[in-house]
Amino acid sequence: MTQQTTQIVIIGAGPSGLALGAKLNKLGIDNIILEKQTKEYVLARIRAGILEQTTVDFLSDIDASDRLKEEGIPHHGVQLAYDNQLMQIGLGENTGGKVVTAYGQTEVTKDLCDIREKSGRSVIYQAEDVSLHDFDTDAPYVTYRTDGTNHQIYCQIIAGCDGFHGVSRASVPKAALNIFEKTYPFGWLGVLSDVPPVSAEVVYANTPRGFALCSMRSWSRSRYYIQCTPDDHIDNWSDDRFWDELRRRLPDALGEAMETGPSIEKSIAPIRSFISEPMRFGRLLLAGDAAHIVPPTGAKGLNLAFSDIFYLSEAVKAFFDKKDEAALDQYSQKALKRVWKAQRFSWYLTNLTHRFSDDPFDQRVKEAELDYIRHSVAGRQMIAENYVGMPF
């Protein structure tokens, strides 16, 4: 068995793990990243693509924003569609100039991978049988296997950035976890296609046929979603059937203007809210999807991961600079305050834009809320402030 020593072992080479590695490198804190998948697999993941201003600022701080500044598409508004109408909510005008930026998570991951390689610190891909040990002491360590050889890394902190199904949260005794969870009675059928976006701003539609979402990855690549049953299957949806259904869920003017083409990716995702508290267990700190899942409505998942990394890196710096153990506890408290605010907004926007109740009362309340937002400056400000992201 080989043995190594580092200050922090990061489990997971997704955006949160790579971003943490980049931030720690700037702080002069030694770190090693372990990833069970191949690099090609990590870079092929297709995920969200709307970045809050705080996320853009954070990526700039870790020198990961050069391509983002060139290729990212600022969104100065968001559209709510109902009753065959479009309601535009200006972001900058309601937030003192803050906007969001369309830039795919896949591109963010590529940028972070490039930074990692330039730093000279590699990622250990295809790490098998990763196991976390003694994180309830001040001498944790991690074991794993590559190419039939067993390895052991001694460290002072373990950062669990390995997602909902990763080993990090699963290593915590269940009695130590407080789980808050809500499963929604629908899924999202998503299609990625190399066609121009139907709108320069994200469109959320509440229609009698169900929810629809129009977003973009670039001016030539669009990401569209429609609400479906949670047990539906992509085999039931040809491209033609998807485009036809999407048109029916959009205001007439948008449906007629929409360009269609072959799908390059198609999937159905369940919709759920999930939070595991706390986010610190001794010397193990969880971040991103390892600790929480939000509905994709509102595009908070990736942005929350980066806010976690911001708070986590602050706590780690205080811990190593001042031997401040309390800073690790404060990480969980600070991160969770922002997580719950994002959960509230994601839940609110999901309820406002989806139809999943046969009770006509529920739908009339949603229509009243939409009408209130249309005619209320305060209502539009609330949505805009939450959409561009709360400050760190």
Whether the Cβ atoms of residue 154 and residue 62 lie closer than 8 Å to each other: no
Catalytic member of 204, 224, 225, 311: 204
Whether the Cβ atoms of residue 39 and residue 125 lie closer than 8 Å to each other: yes
Catalytic member of 23, 36, 75, 292: 75
Catalytic member of 300, 334, 354, 366: 300
- Residue 247 CA to residue 209 CA, distance in Å, equals 11
**Is 295 a known active-site residue?**
no
**Is 296 a known active-site residue?**
yes
**Amino acid found at 273:** S
**Is 224 a known active-site residue?**
no
**Is 75 a known active-site residue?**
yes
**Is 292 a known active-site residue?**
no
Catalytic member of 224, 296, 331, 354: 296
Q: Which residues are catalytic?
A: 75, 204, 296, 300, 387
